[in-house]
């Protein structure tokens, strides 16, 4: 999972750096920075997905707490009165 989240974007950014180092200016600037931008975009898409998935987990926890409240009459983190 680490490779998908971080390894692929790092590999793409490194490929952009290689293009900057190997190709001749000014084309190398456009190509290298474009490839590096694509790597950053992949990383940001992964980050955005993780943020969205964590929201789903929080909603599931809240729903479970509400079901517990309906069954027991108090929240899970409270002492029964």
43-71 confidence digits (pLDDT tens): 999 999 988 877 777 888 889 999 999 99
CA distance 45 to 74: 40
Cis-peptide into 26, omega within 30 deg: yes
- pTM of the complete model: 0.65
CA distance 66 to 50: 25
Q: What's the confidence (pLDDT) of residue 56?
A: 76
Phi, psi of 25 (to 5 degrees): -65, 155
Instruction: Tokens for 35, please give them.
Output: 């490839």
So where are the chain's domains? 2-72
Query: What average pLDDT does this structure show over 20-42?
Result: 91
* Tens of pLDDT, residues 3-14: 988 999 999 999
């Amino acid at each position: 999972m680490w490779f998908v989240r971080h390894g692929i974007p790092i590999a793409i950014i490194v490929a952009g750096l290689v293009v900057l180092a190997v190709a001749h200016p000014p084309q190398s600037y456009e190509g290298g920075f474009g490839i590096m931008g694509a790597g950053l975009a992949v990383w940001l898409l992964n980050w955005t997905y993780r943020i969205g998935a964590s929201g789903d987990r929080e909603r599931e926890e809240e729903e479970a707490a509400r079901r517990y409240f309906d069954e027991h009459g108090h929240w899970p983190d409270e002492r029964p009165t």
